[in-house]
Amino acid sequence: MAGFIKVAHRGASGNFPENTRLAFAKAIEARVDMIELDCQLSQDGHVVVFHDERLRRTAGVRGKVSDRSLEQLKKLDVGQWRKKAYKGERILTLEEVLETVVGNVDLCLDIKHFPHSLQGIELKLLFTLSHYDYLDRTIFSSFDYRCLDRVRELAPESRVGILFGSGIKEDPFEAARRLEAGSIHVQKELATREFLDKAWEDGLDVHVWTVNEVRDMEKFASLGVQGLVSDWPEKFWKLKLRSN
């Protein structure tokens, strides 16, 4: 059961505010292999770690991430929406994440791309990861496969993982071949035996998201998937205990 990559979804986001320093620290405490996080650009071109296009759900204010400068975004609290005890958590830059994880885990960066997103995030991601010597420890993923095309063009040696969910119209296997992807990251409801077999026939590793119940972890682990993505990374060790 220990053969799969344990991935914390937006950090340990089941118990802690997602994409925050606290959630990432708790994921590392849970001994995950990889942390999945979301990247987009602020108005002034900084790579910030935030999932939604809009700020309302986790920051409690109106507007979009792309409408605010980094200085403005840093004033927002993204912890207290989960619990008052988490008040004071701030939106992180990618640089701050890399300084937080300090080599303890690999990363999977979900590149967020919205209709009015600023251009150029791919080059900034590659520059920052290269500066911190983390490029070979990072998988790039996105629902927008054009972002991954740009990553591949700019850095042919980069690791690419096709992100596939129910809203995607493009054939993920064709995209994976075009991008020479090493993995496909699939919504658990779509991770049928047929899908898994096709991915493996194409030489792809399969990461399944978001798997939060131990029984589902056991099911996918027994099928032989290479990675499980969970909001509750501490549950991976319940799975290990059950397998003994």
Where in the sequence numbering do the catalytic residues fall? 9, 51
Residue 193: how many other CB atoms lie within 10 Å: 8
Tokens of 91: 């939106």
Contact between residue 19 and residue 49 where contact means Cβ atoms under 8 Å apart: yes
SS3 139: strand
Tally DSSP H helices, then E strands, for the chain.
Answer: 10, 10
What stretch of H or E contains 201? helix 193-201
What single DSSP character describes residue 186?
Answer: E
Number of residues that make up the chain: 244
User: How far is it, in rounded angstroms, from Cα 124 to Cα 131?
Assistant: 10
- Residue 206 CA, distance from chain mean position: 14
Half-sphere exposure of 80 (CA within 13 A, CB side): 8
Nearest 10 degrees: Cα torsion 57, 58, 61, 64: -80
Contact between residue 8 and residue 209 where contact means Cβ atoms under 8 Å apart: no
